[in-house]
Structure formats: structure tokens, C-alpha cells
């Protein structure tokens, strides 16, 4: 019993000689990576075992041969433990990074949802208030001359159309976020889609004094896509460019194909987007600076470009924006 107590005491003292500075090192490294902390812990444990064995050997409880065997086995086991610890630490570090990114994205999405609800509520409340006022004026006979009655009816229709577009955008965005898009892929000529978008946007462009143009030598490719969703992508980009292009400006739509696939660009002369806003223009409900806030033809809650990104990514493509001389250029890339 006396020998056992002496062995335990010697092992304890030897281990403490390593563990005390080891715990201090772990304390100092708490802000370092998880991998570094795991490695320090593994090394500390192995050295504590070695120190305890050496202390017991110094007390003459282990023969030189047995000590040699133990000092060979323990470092080998320690090296393997260190390798496993480093691998585990890296996995834990990656998991921690993924968890942090997931929490950050969740917070950003939640903040975006709250902001979207606030803006959409405002955008719905404003036309509803106007429509109610005009309806009450018609009902009470405040306006009775044919010209005023016709104008009130026209305004009611315009506001109803605006609310319909906003509700449609919300529905489309909810389908994108829920992964409920059922794309019916087919061979679609990009020239036909662009022509339809230009024809639909021409009255708005003419009313704002904006010119629409396409290069005469554009080589329009045929892409495999859902025609309905692709048409919406092009229409949203064209209308977005028209909204922010000043009178006598130009919106240019171009397309082609290269080694990486088909591409479509919509360029305007809006004067450019602030560099701080370039990475956010496709975010839900982002409206940007005052120069790019929606006007009477606005897209309501700032959903148009968010829908563009969702639909393009659903096709396996990508969309981006950059400033060019006098304006900005949106570029859509679709797989070959």
C-alpha cells in the first residue's frame, strides 16, 4: 500500500508539472482556433503521461527496460492521438464556421423579412388609401362631371394594377424561397424573349423619353429554359433600367454566346450605382440610394431584382451588375 501511494504521488507531481503550464497555455489561446486548442490539449495530456512515468521511474519503481518500452509506446500513441485531435479540431472548426454562417444568414433573412413586411405594408396601404378616397368621392357624388369620373376610374385601375403587380411579385418570390418553382425547360430563342420584353416596355419608355435599342449584329443564342420565367427575368431587367434612366437616355439589350454559355446584358445610362450598393441590389426589398428609389412606375417592395436572381439561379445561371461609363450593366449568364 505504501508503494502504491508513493507511485500515485510521484505520477501526480509529474503530471502537475506539465498540466499547470498547459492550462495556462490553453487559457492564453482561448481566442485562437478550435484546432489549435485541441492540439494543445492532446499534447498536454501526452506530456503529462510521460512526466508521470518519468517521475515514477526516478523513484525506482520501473526498471530501465520497462521504462524504455513505455517511452516508445507512449509517444507513438501520443502522435496518433495528436493526428486524430487535429482532424477532429478541423471538423469542429468547420462546423462552428458553418453554424455561425447559418446563424448570420438566418438573422439577415429575418431582418430582410421584417423590412420587406414594413415596406410592402406601406406600399399596399398607400394605394388602398387613395382608392378608398376616390371610391368614397364617387359614391358621395363629390365628383359628377364625366371627365372627373373618368379620371377617377382610370386612377382606380392604375392603382389596382400596381397592387396586382406587387402581389404577383410577392407570390413569385415566395415560390422561389420555398423551392416550389416547377420549371418546364424547352428550347427558347433569346431574341424572341427580348423582342417581347421590348414591345411590352416600349410605351413606358416612350412616356419617359427613354430609347430602347439592340445591336444590329447581336448573335442571339437559343437557350434551354422555361420561357415564362425567362421572359420575366428579361422584362424585370428592362423595366428596372427604364425606371432609372433619365429622359433622353438609352437602354441597350444585347446577347450572345461564348465558351461558358449564353449571356444577356441590359445596359442603361442611369449614372451608375454607388459602389456600396452593388453587392445589395439583388437583395429582397433593397431600394438603394435616393437616385434609384421607385417612382410612379416603381416595383413596390423592391422585389424585381430579387426575383431576377432567384429565377436565374433556378436555371443554374448567375446574374451580376457592374458600373460602366455613364451607367450600369446587368449581365445574365445561363449554362450552355
pLDDT of residue 31: 67
- Longest alpha-carbon distance in the chain: 117
Q: What is the pLDDT of residues 247-296, one digit of tens each?
A: 999 999 999 998 888 999 999 998 888 888 888 888 776 666 544 444 44
Q: Are residues 82 and 124 in the same domain?
A: no
CATH number at residue 196: 3.30.565.10
My answer on whether 276 and 298 are in the same domain is yes
Q: What is the pLDDT of residue 234?
A: 93
pLDDT at 18: 66
Contact of 68 with 50, CB cutoff 8 Å: no
Indicate whether 33 and 8 sit together in one domain: yes
Q: 301 and 230 share a domain?
A: yes
Same domain, 144 and 241: no
Same domain, 191 and 278: yes
Domain assignment of residue 27, yes or no = yes
pLDDT given for residue 298 in this prediction: 46
Would you say residue 217 lies in a domain?
yes
- CA distances 258 to 215, 219, 263, 322, Å, are 17, 11, 8, 19
Write the CATH number for 117.
1.10.287.130
Does residue 89 fall inside a structural domain?
yes
* Cα separation values, 329 from 63, 128, 240, 321, Å: 81, 35, 11, 6
Give the model's pLDDT for residue 22. 66
The whole-number pLDDT of residue 287 equals 63
| Boundary (domain end) residue, out of 76, 101, 126 | 101
Of 204, 121, 203, nearest to 163 by C-alpha is 121
Q: What is the DSSP letter of 141?
A: T
For residue 72, give its domain range: 2-101
For residue 324, give every residue at least 6 positions away whose Cβ sits within 8 Å of its Cβ, in sequence order, or none. Answer: 267, 272
Query: Is 106 inside any structural domain?
Result: no
Confidence (pLDDT) at 105: 79
pLDDT tens readout for residues 297-307:
544 556 788 88
In order of 28, 118, 208, 236, 304, the CA distances from 121 in angstroms are 51, 5, 28, 22, 17
Give the per-residue pLDDT at 148: 87
Whether 250 and 300 share a structural domain: yes
- Choosing from 38, 72, 101, the residue where a domain stops is 101
pLDDT of residue 195: 92
Q: Is residue 218 located within the same domain as residue 133?
A: no
3-state secondary structure at position 55:
helix
Looking at residue 299, its pLDDT comes to: 46
Residue by residue, pLDDT tens for the chain (336 residues) are 566 676 676 666 666 676 667 667 767 666 667 677 777 777 777 777 777 767 666 666 566 767 676 667 667 766 776 677 677 777 777 777 788 888 887 887 777 677 667 777 767 777 788 888 889 888 888 888 888 888 889 888 888 887 887 788 778 877 777 777 778 889 999 999 999 999 999 998 999 999 999 987 778 889 999 998 999 999 999 999 998 999 999 999 999 998 888 999 999 998 888 888 888 888 776 666 544 444 445 445 567 888 899 899 989 999 999 999 889 999 999 986
From the number of C-beta atoms within 10 Å of its C-beta (0-12, 13-18, 19+), residue 265 rates as middle
Question: Is residue 209 domain-shared with residue 310, that is, in the same domain?
Answer: yes
| Residue 170 belongs to a domain | yes
Domain limit, last residue, from 178, 199, 222: 178
Question: Do 286 and 220 share a domain, yes or no?
Answer: yes
**Same structural domain for residues 10 and 147?**
no
The cell numbers describing 320, all together, are: 451580376
**Nearest C-alpha neighbor of 254 from the set 305, 316, 324:** 324
Q: How many domains are contained in the chain?
A: 3
CB 166 within 8 A of CB 120: yes
- Tell me how far apart the alpha carbons of residues 280 and 30 are, in angstroms, rounded to a whole number: 35
Amino acid at each position: 500500500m505504501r508503494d502504491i501511494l508513493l507511485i500515485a504521488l510521484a505520477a501526480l507531481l509529474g503530471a502537475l508539472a506539465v498540466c499547470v503550464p498547459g492550462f495556462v497555455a490553453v487559457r492564453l489561446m482561448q481566442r485562437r482556433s478550435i484546432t489549435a486548442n485541441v492540439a494543445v490539449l492532446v499534447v498536454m495530456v501526452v506530456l503529462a503521461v510521460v512526466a508521470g512515468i518519468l517521475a515514477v521511474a526516478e523513484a525506482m519503481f520501473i526498471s530501465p527496460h520497462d521504462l524504455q518500452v513505455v517511452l516508445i509506446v507512449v509517444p507513438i500513441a501520443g502522435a496518433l492521438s495528436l493526428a486524430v485531435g487535429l482532424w477532429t479540431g478541423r471538423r469542429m472548426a468547420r462546423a462552428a464556421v458553418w453554424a455561425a454562417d447559418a446563424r448570420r444568414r438566418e438573422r439577415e433573412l429575418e431582418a430582410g423579412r421584417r423590412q420587406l413586411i414594413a415596406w410592402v405594408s406601406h406600399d399596399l396601404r398607400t394605394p388602398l388609401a387613395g382608392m378608398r378616397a376616390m371610391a368614397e368621392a364617387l359614391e358621395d357624388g363629390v365628383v359628377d362631371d364625366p371627365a372627373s369620373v373618368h379620371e377617377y376610374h382610370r386612377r382606380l385601375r392604375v392603382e389596382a394594377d400596381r397592387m396586382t403587380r406587387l402581389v404577383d411579385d410577392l407570390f413569385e418570390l415566395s415560390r422561389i424561397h420555398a423551392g416550389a418553382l416547377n420549371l418546364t425547360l424547352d428550347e427558347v430563342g433569346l431574341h424572341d424573349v427580348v423582342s417581347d420584353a421590348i414591345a411590352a416596355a416600349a410605351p413606358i419608355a416612350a412616356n419617359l423619353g427613354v430609347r430602347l435599342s439592340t445591336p444590329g449584329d447581336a448573335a442571339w443564342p437559343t437557350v434551354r429554359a422555361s420561357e415564362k420565367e425567362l421572359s420575366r427575368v428579361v422584362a424585370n431587367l428592362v423595366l428596372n433600367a427604364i425606371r432609372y434612366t433619365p429622359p433622353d437616355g438609352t437602354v441597350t439589350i444585347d446577347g450572345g454566346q461564348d465558351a461558358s454559355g449564353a449571356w444577356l446584358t441590359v445596359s442603361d445610362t442611369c449614372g451608375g450605382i454607388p459602389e456600396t450598393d452593388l453587392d445589395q441590389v439583388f437583395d429582397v426589398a433593397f431600394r438603394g440610394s435616393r437616385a434609384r428609389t421607385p417612382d410612379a412606375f416603381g416595383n413596390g417592395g423592391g422585389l424585381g431584382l430579387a426575383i431576377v436572381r432567384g429565377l436565374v439561379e433556378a436555371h443554374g445561371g448567375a446574374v451580376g451588375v457592374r458600373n460602366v461609363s455613364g451607367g450600369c450593366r446587368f449581365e445574365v449568364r445561363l449554362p450552355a
